[in-house]
Amino acid sequence: MSSRELSTSPHVQSVLTAAYDPHSGQPTIIAQYPEPIVADLPLLASLMLPAQPKQQDWTTFFLYQANAISGGNTPNNLANMSKLEYNIRSEYKKSTSTRLHVLTLYNRDRAISIITHHSFFHIFKPLLVLGLAEANPQDALIRVYEAANSLDLTRLPHLNYFERAVLIDSEKLHLFEEKFRDGDLDAEHRDSVVSNATTLAMSDRKNSVATVGTIESQDSGFGRPSYFIDLKRSGSTAPQQSSSSAASTNNSTNNLVRDTHFFETKFTYNNSLKVPLRIPVDHHPEIVSDFSIINLVSAMLQITHPCETQHPELTTYGAYTPALLILINGLITQKRILFLGSPEDTGIICDRVLAACGLGSGNGLLRNFVAHAYPYVPALSDADEDIINSPGGYIAGTSAENAARLETNPSWWDILINLETGTLKISSATGVQGPSLTQDKLAAAAQQSLLGSMNPEDVAFLADLRVMVSDHFAEPSVRARCRLYIKRFVRIATNYEDFKHGRTQLWSNPGCDFGYGYTWVSDTQRIFDLNCYSPVIEAWRVSKSYRYYIDEQKHEVWNPTYMKRITPGSDRMLFDFDYYLDKIRYQKIVDENESAQLYKSIAEHLVDDDDTIRFIASSSINNLFYVALGLFHRQADVRTATVRIIRSVEMNPTGHYFYTAMSQFQKVAYKRLLHDAVRDARVPTPGGPHLHSPQPPVIFESQEAVGKVA
């Protein structure tokens, strides 16, 4: 949803209050604002008050509203369009409906809920806390509604597919800062900040040119080499600034400091209390609320017992397949996954369900997980037939008090995860009974042999997550690592389709010879992976998630704006940067000729800033370090191509932050080669045509010309 759509539609459609009926003792909707909604009110009340908490707790569920109905705007059709439904069995009808998120805060007496279309609905939690504390429920609804809809999101930055990928995979604080507008500043201060920002950017680029242009003067006979690392200035090779210039730069930097992963704003409650909040800029429909994927990963890593029941799409490594991998396989293949937890901690159960959706989607890489999520179902039973028999599976949470009843009905679920006991079970109605491994010695031996037979990437993935959890890594780091794992699966599926079916729908390659997909360390590992993941890939290929991924690639990656410049037989083709960057990373290069062609191909496909952002999105896992090793290649044309690649990153407003993170040793080599390239007119300077521009570069006749441009 664009910033314009975010600002023109109400942020919160309705606010509800529920309480227990004094006569029947059943939950009942007692107040609504601004107008009554059309829905199954008794069902909504039971979802708003699912249990008796110790004090207060959170719960979440989703509603669906039809967008359009054929047959015109008849009274009957208009009534159906305004109706909110808890579950829609038809996949097509659900996909064409608007999903609304219901966030509820409840205690022993009553509950208050908001209905919103925003996936980042957790920002309204402070409002619900204030509203539940109000003595008059009707006044609380009015104040919550007015405060929520007072938000101004017109300045919320909108990122495209690859910009969002860069922001997700990086923890750098200033990415895409140019997309923020300081509307809260007065005009004079705002102009000053923009001017300082421009001066700072120009200063960085001029310093870069000055380093190139004053090389000869630095080597002035005092025994100092042309390029050196000044330890007093943390290894910088740029000329020292004056104290006044440094102070000005520091002030401008301080004015611009912000964490661009979030948009900071505030709402006003009851016309007096101003409450600040932070909205995630990289929001996505599959990333709902502020779940903790760390807590989910930690819980899954603690499950080590074998599975008595096995399934080829789930237990890819047999009975001792790690529980986290079973969960990921189940999510990708859209199995029916059920979490059990304490009825007094519905907020925790909801968090695990939403975190599972984020895990399976790869932090927004895949889709169709939240559409089948039911964060908390008070009591799953025969009455929930539409959920149990959902064709796309489900991801649901319920009370552990129902464990015994659920275990006696294995046809209701495929994977049962009990958060209370720390166990994972595969339904006997879905899988087959595996061999008995009850003796401790046999179990230890089986686990030890498993490590030797598992894919090294799977072993590394689990090991990385264990380290991240034990060392208290930040949530974005863990999400980025899980996203990389899902991205790896999709890339392997691309090669699998080529190998098994002769063509793939996961990559659009209009007649070019460039490689794509995943890069293996060896052919033996490639054959092993294709056989190992074959059942999971085949199950994913018949899922809605697979179809949605292809549709999103056509809309976001192979969009007409980008593809119209790509024609068969041209020098500019759709290029898989991930594939070639991994070839460099794993050193899967046959000879020097292939190495030269590889670097040249990357450089030739970095034509404009859009290409650079695509490249950065692929190099965000430290691949830029391995690319920079081309600076030390024995062939001059490889070194020149590497300079052009790094130059395109350095000159990009976002890429500049990745360039500054390079090692000083590599930057010194880059500056030296850049100077030689500028001298020989192989790479333009910042004062000349941009590296990405289609115009021919300016040929500098002398070093003095370089100084004039600077």
φ and ψ at residue 16, rounded to 5 degrees: -125, 155
Boundary (domain end) residue, out of 133, 150, 167: 150
Query: Does residue 639 sit within a domain?
Result: yes
Spell out the SS3 assignment of 365-389. Answer: CCCCCHHHEECCCCCCCHHHHHHHC
Which of the residue ranges 137-141, 157-161, 576-580 has the most confident prediction, judged by mean pLDDT? 137-141
In this predicted model, what pLDDT tens digit does every residue of 241-289 receive, in sequence order? Answer: 443 443 344 444 444 547 888 888 888 888 888 888 888 988 888 899 8
- pLDDT of amino acid 257: 45
Scan for tokens 């004039």, then name that residue: 708
Residue whose C-alpha is closest to residue 667's, from 167, 211, 170: 211
Provide the pLDDT confidence category of residue 218 given band limits of 50, 70 and 90.
very low
- pLDDT of amino acid 352: 96
Question: What whole-number distance in Å separates Cα of residue 473 and Cα of residue 223?
Answer: 46
Query: Does residue 477 sit within a domain?
Result: no
Query: Does residue 106 sit within a domain?
Result: yes
- pLDDT of amino acid 534: 94
Query: Lowest mean pLDDT: which of 322-326, 533-537, 657-661?
Result: 657-661
- How many other C-beta atoms can be found within 10 angstroms of the C-beta atom of residue 334? 25
Query: Lowest mean pLDDT: which of 157-161, 222-226, 385-389, 617-621?
Result: 222-226
Contacts of 269 (CB under 8 A, 6+ apart): 127, 130, 143, 144, 147, 275
- Residue type for position 225: P
φ and ψ at residue 467, rounded to 5 degrees: -65, -45
Boundary (domain end) residue, out of 150, 173, 208: 150
Query: Does residue 192 sit within a domain?
Result: no
Same domain, 464 and 337: yes
Q: Please say if the pLDDT value at position 134 is more than 50.
A: yes
Residue whose C-alpha is closest to residue 377's, from 334, 423, 341, 407: 341
Contacts of 238 (CB under 8 A, 6+ apart): 207, 208, 210, 211
Question: What whole-number distance in Å separates Cα of residue 230 and Cα of residue 179?
Answer: 34
Torsion of CA 270, 276, 282, 287, to 10 degrees: -60
Same domain, 464 and 591: no
- How many other C-beta atoms can be found within 10 angstroms of the C-beta atom of residue 52? 12
More confident residue, 441 or 656: 656
Total number of domains in the chain: 3
Q: Please say if the pLDDT value at position 60 is more than 90.
A: yes
Classify burial at 193, counting beta carbons within 10 Å of its beta carbon; exposed 0-12, middle 13-18, buried 19 or more: middle
Boundary (domain end) residue, out of 129, 150, 171: 150
Q: Token pair of 597, please?
A: 């062609």
- Residue type for position 351: D
Q: Please say if the pLDDT value at position 491 is more than 50.
A: yes
Question: What whole-number distance in Å separates Cα of residue 35 and Cα of residue 32?
Answer: 6
- pLDDT of amino acid 192: 43
- pLDDT of amino acid 382: 67
Query: Does residue 488 sit within a domain?
Result: no
Same domain, 467 and 581: no
Assign residue 415 the CATH number of its domain. Answer: 3.40.50
Scan for tokens 């859009």, then name that residue: 610
Distances 566 to 484, 579, 596, 599 between C-alpha atoms, Å: 28, 19, 23, 20
More confident residue, 452 or 294: 294
Question: What whole-number distance in Å separates Cα of residue 213 and Cα of residue 706?
Answer: 6
Q: Please say if the pLDDT value at position 167 is more than 90.
A: no
Cβ contact 333:553 at 8 Å: no
Query: Does residue 572 sit within a domain?
Result: no
Assign residue 43 the CATH number of its domain. Answer: 3.30.450
In this predicted model, what pLDDT tens digit does every residue of 439-490 receive, in sequence order? Answer: 554 555 555 566 667 888 899 999 999 999 999 998 999 999 999 999 999 9
Question: What whole-number distance in Å separates Cα of residue 296 and Cα of residue 323?
Answer: 11
Pairing of strands 336-341, 309-310: unpaired
Query: Lowest mean pLDDT: which of 160-164, 248-252, 528-532, 586-590?
Result: 248-252
- pLDDT of amino acid 245: 41
Domain residues for 90? Answer: 12-68+81-150
Question: What whole-number distance in Å separates Cα of residue 644 and Cα of residue 673?
Answer: 10
Query: Does residue 93 sit within a domain?
Result: yes
Pairing of strands 415-418, 336-341: parallel
In this predicted model, what pLDDT tens digit does every residue of 586-615 receive, in sequence order? Answer: 776 666 777 788 888 888 888 888 888 889
Q: What is the pLDDT of the chain when averaged over all its residues?
A: 78
The whole model's pTM is what? Answer: 0.83
Same domain, 306 and 450: yes
In this predicted model, what pLDDT tens digit does every residue of 98-130 receive, in sequence order? Answer: 999 999 999 888 999 999 999 999 999 999 999
Query: Lowest mean pLDDT: which of 173-177, 357-361, 586-590?
Result: 586-590
- pLDDT of amino acid 538: 95
More confident residue, 109 or 690: 109
Query: Does residue 421 sit within a domain?
Result: yes
Q: Please say if the pLDDT value at position 209 is more than 50.
A: no
Distances 177 to 181, 262, 612 between C-alpha atoms, Å: 9, 11, 17
Instruction: Report the pLDDT averaged over residues 672-689.
Output: 66
Question: What whole-number distance in Å separates Cα of residue 434 and Cα of residue 453?
Answer: 18
- pLDDT of amino acid 589: 63
Cβ contact 48:113 at 8 Å: yes
Residue whose C-alpha is closest to residue 488's, from 457, 445, 527, 512: 457
